[in-house]
């Protein structure tokens, strides 16, 4: 994208911000990459511009846009951090350094280099969340141009995208980006399945559009008499999510019926529940499909009411009901909190609180000394499946799938975890390696003077529990 167009898009949400730094960063990057080309044959700067464009779509602040334009100058050009700092100051330089990969010559294998790069990037993210937003925009454009690389490199990059970048986007609540990354990776990790599923989806497109149009018309007619503000968006599930559902349910594509979806967006939480009642009056709800993520939000801040209903012609339609603010958060996740308010640069006043879980999680990961162990722990903590477990007092704890009573104990309080000796789940004694399920009520039994055991490290799933246990064992000289 040319500079004038970038500036116009930026000015749409930040009309009062001086764009001189963006103009300077644009020119600096063009000149720094002047003699470089991408595998596609395009001028290298096309990539830098595309990254900046993605960051502008997320409505991020001026230093982030500058860092997006400059994100490869330290890695791929003779530019030094000192030169960059002199031209653009500490903030932008720190963001670029956070995104810049390490010199892999120091490592004995690609796996070690990859693990240490992730470790470095996550630690930079703990200082400034914008580092990971730039890296995700960088990876998105790299995935869009992956066809120009050799097949083995395509598969390696696609696998890393599917196992790390897409789950990270999910954990940050950036669902649109997560779906894009998953579908782009799907093309290369499961080539035949992708081609087959893509063709089937295309063949059904006209019918799907007709079903959704009829559904929207019916809903609009019934809502016309109410005073509930609303807008309805049609939504088609991503190919990767449909493929995953086929595997989970062991069904062919033709039997996966709820690949149709709509989002109903309104103004208040009370209207979300009012709309849910109307939907269940209009259409027959499918038993067991209702989930309330408004009362119990996901770890990544996501909130919505989910239900699946039987449409007029027997088609299953998944409905998500949410407020405008919930919709912004579900589309952009963490990035939504860097919005410019009324033309002024203002951050969400609750931003620190919303980022606290992420910072805490990264701090726990820092305790892992081995790069590979860090990477494996990161993958575990990025797993998308969550379970919601209750304390006896009714407090809900969100944990990754496969979490145990020990994980639960540490989520309640470090002292509870450290002195845990047993657990009752739904009033029955269970082993400490029992895998908790959503809806379980877990009661931890503690004993004064009891301490963590080394074999707990092979049982726990969360970074918090693993970090606390390892720290204790290291102090006792039990583990390195």
Closest CA to 405 of 395, 183, 416: 416
Pairing verdict, β 305-310 and 316-323: antiparallel
Distance, CA of 133 to CA of 358 (rounded, Å): 13
Question: Residue length, the chain?
Answer: 480
Distance in angstroms between the alpha carbons of the first and the last residue of the chain: 51
- With beta carbons less than 8 A apart as the criterion, state whether 63 and 91 touch: yes
Distance, CA of 408 to CA of 389 (rounded, Å): 8
Catalytic residues: 75-76
């Amino acid at each position: 994208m040319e500079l004038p167009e970038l500036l116009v898009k930026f000015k749409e949400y930040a009309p009062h911000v001086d764009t001189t730094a963006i103009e300077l960063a644009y020119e600096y990057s063009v000149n720094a990459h002047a003699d470089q080309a991408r595998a596609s044959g395009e001028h290298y700067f096309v990539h830098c511009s595309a990254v900046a464009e993605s960051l502008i779509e997320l409505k991020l602040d001026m230093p982030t846009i500058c860092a997006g334009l400059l994100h490869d100058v330290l890695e791929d050009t003779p530019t030094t951090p000192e030169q960059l700092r002199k031209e653009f100051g500490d903030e932008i330089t720190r963001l670029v350094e956070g995104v810049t990969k390490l010199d892999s010559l120091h490592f004995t294998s690609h796996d070690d280099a990859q693990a240490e790069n992730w470790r470095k990037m996550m630690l930079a993210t703990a200082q400034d969340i914008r580092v990971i937003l730039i890296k995700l925009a960088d990876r998105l454009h790299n995935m869009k141009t992956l066809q120009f690389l050799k097949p083995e490199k395509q598969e390696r990059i696609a696998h890393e995208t599917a196992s790390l970048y897409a789950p990270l986007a999910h954990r940050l609540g950036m669902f649109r980006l997560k779906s894009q990354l998953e579908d782009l990776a799907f093309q290369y990790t499961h080539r035949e399945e992708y081609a087959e599923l893509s063709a089937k989806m295309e063949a059904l497109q006209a019918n799907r559009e007709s079903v959704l149009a009829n559904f929207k018309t019916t809903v609009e007619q019934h809502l016309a008499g109410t005073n509930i503000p609303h807008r309805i968006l049609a939504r088609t599930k991503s190919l990767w999510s449909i493929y995953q559902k086929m595997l989970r349910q062991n069904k062919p594509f033709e039997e996966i019926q709820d690949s149709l979806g709509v989002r109903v967006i309104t103004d208040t939480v009370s209207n979300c529940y009012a709309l849910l009642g109307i939907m269940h009056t209009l259409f027959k709800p499918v038993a067991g499909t209702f989930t309330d993520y408004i009362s119990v939000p996901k770890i990544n801040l996501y909130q919505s009411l989910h239900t699946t209903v039987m449409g007029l012609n027997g088609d299953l339609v998944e409905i998500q009901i949410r407020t405008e603010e919930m919709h912004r958060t579900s589309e952009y996740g963490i990035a939504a909190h860097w919005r410019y308010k009324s033309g002024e640069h203002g951050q969400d006043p609750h931003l620190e609180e919303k980022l606290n879980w992420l910072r805490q999680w990264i701090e726990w990961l820092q305790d892992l000394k081995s790069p590979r162990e860090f990477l494996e722990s990161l993958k575990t903590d990025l797993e998308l499946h969550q379970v919601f477990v209750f304390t006896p007092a009714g407090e809900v704890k969100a944990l990754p799938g496969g979490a145990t009573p020990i994980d639960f104990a540490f989520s309640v309080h470090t002292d509870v975890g450290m002195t845990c000796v047993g657990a009752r789940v739904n009033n029955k004694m269970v082993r400490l390696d029992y895998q908790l399920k959503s809806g379980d009520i877990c009661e931890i039994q503690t004993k004064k003077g009891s301490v963590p055991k080394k074999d707990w490290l092979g049982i726990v799933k969360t970074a918090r529990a693993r970090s606390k246990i390892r720290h204790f064992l290291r102090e006792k000289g039990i583990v390195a």
